[in-house]
Amino acid sequence: MSENTCSPGPGGKVSAAPSLGGTVPWRRSGVLPGGWIRAWFTHLWKMGVRGIVTKHRNGKEALKPQWPPAFDEDNLRAMINSTKDLMWSADRNYRLIAANEPFLDSLEEVTGARFKPGDSLMVADVPGAAATTHWHAHFERALGGEAFTTEEYVAHSREAHLQVGYAPIRANGNVVGVAMVSRDITEMRKAQLELERSHARMRAAALQKASILDALPAQVALLDPAGMIGEVNEAWRVAVERSGLRIDDHGVGEDVRSVARLLMGEEIFRREGVADGLSSVLQGRSAGFTLEYRSPAEGPPLWFQLRIAPLSSRDGAVVMHLDVTDRREAQEAVLRSHALLEDRVVERTKELLLKNEELEAETEKNKRLGREIVKRNEELMSSITYASYIQRSLIPERRKFDFFNGMGLVFRPRDVVSGDFLWCHGTSDHFVVAVADCTGHGVPGAMMSMLGHDLLDHIVVEHGEHDPRRILEQLDGAINRLFTSSEGLHVMDGMDISVVVVDKRTMELTFSGAGLPLLAIRDGAPILFPGSKATIGGRWVCGEKEFCLHRHQLRRGDRLGLFTDGYGDQFGGQQNKKLLRRGFLSILVEQSMLDAAQAAQAIDRHFTGWMGKQEQVDDVLVLILDV
């Protein structure tokens, strides 16, 4: 309860009491009447006080109570006056009996008068202090024989919280006055408030972390240093429920080893050394543990990848569980193809041996050549298979662009697989198209492009997001969360991307770009919509990321161009220089008189001529759409 401390004044008036929690420096002024110190100690003793607290900064060390029979009054006075607590007593008529120096100094600071024993505490109102009647009520309560403590709040000179104790003074069985002690507990209250705020911040951080974990497509569990499951995400909970196993609370609070035994099966758990791998990560002896295994559950074969990595922010580990059945089936198909090829080579070799024994030496050479062909075919088939899989997954068919009058595409990977990808999705009301350039080339870039494609499916198709700026923000957040999960595994790569959304009903276009622009051409005149400097994922040290949002009203006959920076970055020409973005944009405008497909062919031919004998330096992707 917050109250303003005050004392009753003459004639029933109520005046503000002194600032009991003030920081008036100690001083000794004059000699007080000789008998008041022993009387004051008598009051304290009756109030339950059995000693005097000396001034210590930590407030925890106190002197044991000592009251020698012949203790010197000056020493007693010095001890009472050395405390910062305010101590005073008054008789039944509100006249001051005794007080320590801090109380007299504080009262003088507020009233302007120096009080002495016998003076009435019924002082006149103090300007600026709110008058109340609770001081009088507390005093009368103590005069009734009750000893108690109250907490009060004052704010006329400074804000302070006070703890005030009241105790009756008795003589011959009668209450003849009241003894009071006031202590400043402001810092304690401030510390308590800060502790409550800290708890609120911790609760908010916990909610935020839970939402981040639930946004991840993988099944994730966070472990403490002992391997106990502390938190799991929604994907983990769904997987446990679908397993049909009896795992209380999805394993939270249990040892992850016990849960893994149930999900993987005891045989796989022991054979693959999961317990040892987990221990090595938790004890800091390993930077990670990865395992692929086939599920022991009945039904179609399912393959999973188990990955355990140390937490970077605190002790413990993160467990990620992914379904890799599709990739595993593709690998097995490649292995079967290789096995068939080996069988054919061996069969052909046997035929040659049977036909002519004289060619035995040549046959042996052919066998070695056959094994080399098998090895090279394994590498080539692996790359081609992955390239074919990525191309089927990331390049939409032309029929998906039937909303537009024409579509042209230039797609030239630097290697067999590409880090550039094209993505689109159409509904009855909207059409969303994105062109992205992932950091890196070859397999790393292709894997990043696959991740970007899946995240766009998750954001746009599954959750129905049609605001291009929100699409970029969610894509950036997902990439950052996926690649900052463990120490030593930080991935600073990301992607540049342009996202266009067309409202099919109003023909309004909205665009947001992260490092990539959009070119619109109307009647041969170009309109360039720049993208933001911020990119998706990667390292960003320029403050909070912000993605631009552009709006444009389309008309039939307009042309749109989305592209990565590979075309402009290519070295070539007579001086072997880069074409740069400005030169590339001029080529797009020059070809605007052709339809989209013909323009793409012309742009592709120009790239071949410009590059000449130089090596291609980057993946190239150019999309042309006629409205």
Each residue of 276-333: pLDDT tens digit?
Answer: 988 988 888 888 899 888 887 777 888 888 889 898 756 788 888 888 888 888 888 8
- CA 401 to CA 391: how far, in whole Å? 17
Can you tell me the mean pLDDT for 494-519?
96
Note the pLDDT tens digit of each residue in 235-272.
888 888 877 777 888 888 889 898 888 888 888 889 98
The answer to whether the beta carbons of residues 5 and 163 sit under 8 Å apart is no
The helix or strand, by DSSP H or E, that contains position 46, with its residue range, turns out to be: helix 36-47
C-beta of residue 263 within 8 angstroms of C-beta of residue 245: yes
User: What confidence score (pLDDT) does residue 261 get?
Assistant: 86
Distance CA 153, CA 3 (A): 5
Residue 154 to residues 19, 106, 130, 162, 376: CA-CA distances in angstroms? Answer: 7, 13, 9, 8, 87
Indicate the pLDDT class of residue 432, thresholds 50, 70 and 90.
very high
Q: pLDDT tens digits, residue range 13-63?
A: 333 333 333 333 323 333 333 333 444 444 444 444 333 333 333 333 333
CA–CA separation, 306 vs 317, rounded Å? 13
Cα–Cα dist 304/293, whole Å: 6
Q: What token pair was written down for 476?
A: 């950036």
Mean pLDDT of 359-377: 80
Cβ atoms within 10 Å, residue 578 = 14
Better-scored residue on pLDDT, 37 or 227: 227
Predicted TM-score of the model (pTM): 0.43
Instruction: State residue 297 phi and psi, 5-degree precision.
Output: -65, 150
- Cβ neighbours for 443, distance < 8 A, ≥ 6 positions apart: 386, 417
Place of tokens 């995240």: 455
Report pLDDT digits (tens) over 122-143.
764 444 443 445 678 888 899 9
pLDDT at 47: 42
- Look at residue 166 and tell me whether its pLDDT is greater than 90: yes
